[in-house]
């Protein structure tokens, strides 16, 4: 996984709450067995509307999504993270994220920054006034900077460390194989098996 320290790019405002993962990537696209190539399905239904923010010429090439509250609700599909990344997003900012989506993002290297709704409103206004505005997301300082606006964001300490180091979770856990084996010896015998 690539290390994430800071990212600078342009941002799109998504003025909607409760953007569920069925909207981020409709089920039809989930039949693929590959991990890439989901960009065409991102916000599949809304992209058919020419007024949708990501269809507007001013917001082409964006890499930061500024979303309404409760982003990523619903299904556990990690394809939602892959679709955002395949489209070019590095960061999603929202005042509330669904737990599973946020966990999935951290695994795949998509940064989800928790920003106060008041700051989200300011960021929306700023990138709507000037879609070309450069937005910097600084994971080290936990700051979003856009023009003269600076907002802080929350991110889990451990996830932040892992993203900044570009570390893969499984590799970290595999180092503790002996501790896992010790635990397994003590599991109650009445627990079921599937074999």
Partner 1 sequence: MAKTLAEKVWEAHVVRRAAGEPDLLYIDLHLVHEVTSPQAFDGLRATGRAVRRPELTLATEDHNVPTIDILKPIADPISKAQVDALRANCAEFGVPIYSLGNVEQGIVHVVGPQLGLTQPGMTVVCGDSHTSTHGAFGALAFGIGTSEVEHVLATQTLPLKPFKTMAINVDGELPVGVTAKDVTLAVIAKIGTGGGQGYVLEYKGSAIRALSMEGRMTVCNMSIEAGARAGMIAPDETTFEYLKGRDRAPAGAMWDEAVAYWATLPSDADAKYDAEVFIDASTLSPFVTWGTNPGQGLPLTANVPSPADAVDETDRVAIENALEYMGLTAGMPLRDIKVDTVFVGSCTNGRIEDLRAVAEVLKGRKVASGMRMLVVPGSVRVKHQAEAEGLDVIVKDSGAEWREAGCSMCLAMNPDKLAPGERSASTSNRNFEGRQGPGGRTHLVSPAVAAATAIKGHLAAPADL
Residues interacting with partner 1, by CB under 8 A? Answer: 15-18, 20, 22-23, 26-28, 30-35, 45, 68-70, 73-79, 81, 96-100, 103-104, 107-108, 117, 156-158, 169-170, 172-174, 176-177, 179-180, 183-184, 187-195
d(CA 54, CA 52): 6
> In the complex with partner 1, which residue's Cβ is closer, 17 or 55?
17
Work out how close the CB of 106 gets to partner 1 at its nearest, in angstroms, rounded to a whole number.
9
Work out how close the CB of 55 gets to partner 1 at its nearest, in angstroms, rounded to a whole number.
17
Return the closest-CA partner of residue 128 out of 15, 2, 8, 1. Answer: 15
Work out how close the CB of 133 gets to partner 1 at its nearest, in angstroms, rounded to a whole number.
23
Q: Please, which residues have CB within 8 angstroms of residue 171's CB and are 6 or more apart in sequence?
A: none
Strand pairing report for 143-146 and 91-94: unpaired
Return the closest-CA partner of residue 93 out of 166, 3, 13. Answer: 13
d(CA 164, CA 151): 20
> In the complex with partner 1, which residue's Cβ is closer, 10 or 79?
79
> In the complex with partner 1, which residue's Cβ is closer, 106 or 131?
106
> In the complex with partner 1, which residue's Cβ is closer, 132 or 195?
195
| Tokens encoding 188 | 């109650």
Q: Please, which residues have CB within 8 angstroms of residue 61's CB and are 6 or more apart in sequence?
A: 9, 10, 88
Q: How many residues does the chain have?
A: 195
> In the complex with partner 1, which residue's Cβ is closer, 9 or 20?
20
Place of tokens 């599949």: 44
Work out how close the CB of 8 gets to partner 1 at its nearest, in angstroms, rounded to a whole number.
26
Work out how close the CB of 120 gets to partner 1 at its nearest, in angstroms, rounded to a whole number.
10
């Amino acid at each position: 996984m690539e290390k994430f320290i800071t990212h600078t790019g342009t941002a799109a405002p998504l003025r909607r709450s409760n953007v569920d993962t069925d909207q981020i990537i409709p089920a039809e696209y989930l039949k693929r067995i590959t991990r890439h190539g989901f960009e065409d399905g991102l916000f599949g239904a809304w992209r058919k509307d020419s007024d949708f923010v990501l269809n507007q010429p001013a917001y082409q090439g964006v890499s930061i999504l500024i979303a309404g509250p409760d982003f990523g609700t619903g299904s556990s599909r990690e394809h939602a993270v892959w679709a955002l990344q395949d489209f070019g997003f590095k960061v999603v900012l929202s005042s509330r994220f669904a737990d599973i989506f946020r966990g999935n993002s951290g695994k795949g290297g998509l940064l989800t920054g928790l920003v106060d709704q008041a700051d989200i409103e300011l960021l929306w206004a700023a990138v709507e006034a000037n879609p070309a505005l450069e937005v910097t997301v600084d994971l080290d300082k936990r700051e979003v900077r856009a023009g003269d606006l600076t907002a802080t964001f929350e991110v889990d300490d451990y996830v932040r460390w892992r993203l900044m180091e570009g570390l893969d979770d499984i590799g970290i856990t595999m180092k503790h194989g002996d501790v896992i084996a010790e635990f397994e010896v003590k599991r109650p015998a009445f627990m079921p098996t599937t074999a």
